Every structure is written in structure tokens, then in C-alpha cells.
Structure 1
Amino acid sequence: MEEQEMQLKVKKVTDRLTESMYVLANEPSVALYRLQEHVRRSLPELAQHKADMQNWEEQSQGAVYTVEYACSAIRSMTYSREYFKSIEGLLRQTISTKEQMGSAPGRSTLAPQAPCPSSSS
């Protein structure tokens, strides 16, 4: 009887050892299968997110460029203040000169003359 018990115990041990070896041998395959399954499910959504982010980045860069261009235009407008002051001074000087010319003594206003008829035959 002892021999039968021993054979039973050896069979149990060998069965468990075989089962353990089978699990250990297949575990990486199962893990890789789960990873592949996860990638197949997640990849299209991730690709869409990437495309969206690239689109938003392009739009943001365009907006940044527009804002920088507007700031540059505003800065150049502040530099033009000097030119406008110069133009204003010249206009005041011209108006003053015109008024002086209009009020000069002995100055008569001439009536506009009619254009000369052309002498073509």
C-alpha cells in the first residue's frame, strides 16, 4: 500500500510541477496577447488625439504669429509719433505762411483768367 500511496503522491507532485511549468511557459504569451489587445483598442484613439494636438499646435502658432505681428505694428506706431509731430509742425508753419501771404499789404486777388483758345487750324 505504501507503494501506491507513494505513486499517488509522486503523480500529484508531477502533475502540479507540469501545471506550473505550463503556466510559466504560457504567461509571457498571455501578457503579450493582453498588451497587443490593449494597443489595438487604444491606438486609434491615441492617433486621433495626436492629430488633434498637432492641429491645435498649428492654430496656436498662427495665433501667436498674429499677435506678435500686431504688437510689432503697435510698436512701430509709437515710433511714428515723432513723424506725426513733425508733420503737424510743418502744417502749422504752412498755414501761418498762407495767412501771412493773404494779409500782406498791396496784395490783390486776381480773377481767374479764361483759358486761351487754341490756335489750331
Structure 2
Amino acid sequence: MADWNETPQDEEESYEEVYEEHRSALYDQLMAYADAHDLSDGFMSDLVSDLGLSLRMVAYAAETEKPSVGGLRLDLERYTRELAESVREAKRQAAEFIAEAKAAREQDEAENPDEPTDAQETRQ
């Protein structure tokens, strides 16, 4: 299984650029799908998390010369640690994220005063 945390220093910048390019493209496709099917962000989060876990398991089985139950369990433990680190980082960025979200909501409300916000639609 490839360990994405061990990217050689000289390749790190190009890896990050490629990663962000694909992440952005997939995000746009997912949001378009969610909009087309009127799916909430929370529901999409659950779907994508489930897909991520399934893909990790498939990647282990496909990319490991001799996959085993024990090996898969170890890889899933690594995946758990990687996800935990991502959540810790998100927590550290929480204040900045909420400030940006509030500013975006205020700007949207100022530009579209007659349209209800998602929060207003949920309460109705």
C-alpha cells in the first residue's frame, strides 16, 4: 500500500498540486451531483466517507502482492490514524472555517436578499 505521507521532498510540491487539482475537480462533480439530486451536505459527507473506506479496502487488495485479513486490518488502522489526524487539523482550523462560512453566508444574503438561506429552509 502506498504511503502518501512519505512523498520525497522534491516531488512534494508537484504531488500537492496534482492532489489539489483532482480534489477540486471531484468536489465540483460531487456538489453538482448533490444539487441535481437535492442531497444535503451531511448526506453527501456520509456517502463520501463510506466510499473512501471502500476504496481504501479495494486499494489494499489490489495493490498488495499478498493481501491478507491481518494486513487489511493493519492498513485500516493506518487509515484510522490518517483520518484522526485530518480531523485534528480541521479542529485547529475551526475558527477560521466558521469565520469564512459566516462571511460567505452574509455576502450571499446581501446579494440575494429575497432567497432563503439553507438554514432558513431547514427551519421551515
Fold match (TM-score > 0.5): no
Larger Rg belongs to: 1
User: Looking at both structures, which has the greater relative contact order when contacts are Cα pairs under 8 Å and sequence separation is at least 6?
Assistant: 2
With normalisation by structure 2, the TM-score equals 0.28
